[in-house]
Amino acid sequence: MSDISEYKAATNRIFDDVKNELTKLVTIPSVSSASRTEVEKSAGHLAQLFSNLGMETEVKTAPTPTGEEGMPAVIARKIVDPQSKTVLLYAHHDVQPAGPVERWNTEPFVATEKNGRLYGRGTSDDGAGVMVHYGALLALGDKCPVNVTCFIEGEEEIGSPSFRNFIEKYREDLAADAIIVCDSDNWRVGEPALTATLRGVASMDVKVKVMNTALHSGAFGGPVLDAVTVASLLLAKCFNPDGSLAVPGLGGSTSADVHYPEELFKADAQVVESFELAGKGDVAARLWNQPALCVIGWDQRSRAESANALVPETCLRLSLRTAPGTDSAECAQALSTFLKENAPFGAEVETEILECGPSYQAQSSEAEKDMKWALSAAWDKDAVDIGCGGAIPMTADLAQVFPQADILITGVEDPVTNAHSENESQDLGDLKNAITAEALFLARLGGQV
Contact (Cβ atoms closer than 8 angstroms) between residue 112 and residue 142 = no
**Which residues share a beta bridge with 114?**
117
State the pLDDT at residue 204.
98
Q: Which residues contact 430 (CB under 8 A, 6 or more apart)?
A: 186, 189, 190, 412, 414
- Reference 413, options 140, 118, 138; nearest CA is 118
Number of H helices, E strands in the chain: 13, 18
Contact (Cβ atoms closer than 8 angstroms) between residue 408 and residue 181 = yes
Q: Where in the chain is the domain with CATH 3.30.70.360?
A: 202-252+291-357
Q: Where in the chain is the domain with CATH 3.40.630.10?
A: 4-198+359-445
Tell me 95's DSSP state. Answer: B
State the pLDDT at residue 20.
99
Count of C-beta atoms within a 10 Å radius of residue 37: 10
Q: Mapped to the 3 state alphabet, what secondary structure does 240-295 carry?
A: CCCCCECCCCCCCCCCCCCCCCHHHHHHHHCCCCCCCCCCCCCHHHHHHCCCEEEE
- Residues written for the chain: 449
Q: φ and ψ at 430, to 5 degrees?
A: -70, -35
Tell me 31's DSSP state. Answer: B
3-state secondary structure of 173: helix
**Which residues share a beta bridge with 355?**
203
Q: φ and ψ at 78, to 5 degrees?
A: -135, 115
Q: φ and ψ at 425, to 5 degrees?
A: -155, 165
State the pLDDT at residue 11.
99
Distance, CA of 441 to CA of 449 (rounded, Å): 9
State the pLDDT at residue 110.
98
Which pTM was predicted? Answer: 0.84
State the pLDDT at residue 124.
98
3-state secondary structure of 190: coil
Distance, CA of 362 to CA of 399 (rounded, Å): 10
DSSP string covering 288-337? HTS-EEEEEEEE---GGG--SEE--EEEEEEEEEE-TTS-HHHHHHHHHH
- Reference 8, options 437, 447, 443, 307; nearest CA is 437
| Cα Rg of the chain (Å, integer) | 23
Helix (H) or strand (E) holding 131: helix 127-140
Half-sphere exposure of 190 (CA within 13 A, CB side): 1
pLDDT tens digits along 119-175: 999 999 999 999 999 999 999 999 999 999 999 999 999 989 999 999 999 999 999
Contact (Cβ atoms closer than 8 angstroms) between residue 39 and residue 93 = yes
Half-sphere exposure of 39 (CA within 13 A, CB side): 27
State the pLDDT at residue 361.
87
What type of residue sits at position 148?
V
State the pLDDT at residue 393.
74
State the pLDDT at residue 241.
97
Low-confidence ranges of the chain (pLDDT < 70): none
Distance, CA of 31 to CA of 97 (rounded, Å): 6
What is the assigned CATH class of domain 202-252+291-357? alpha beta
CA 240 to chain centre: 28
CA 26 to chain centre: 18
Superfamily holding 4-198+359-445: Zn peptidases (3.40.630.10)
State the pLDDT at residue 388.
86
CA 239 to chain centre: 25
Distance, CA of 25 to CA of 201 (rounded, Å): 29
pLDDT tens digits along 3-61: 999 999 999 999 999 999 999 999 999 999 999 999 999 999 999 999 999 999 999 99
Distance, CA of 226 to CA of 211 (rounded, Å): 9
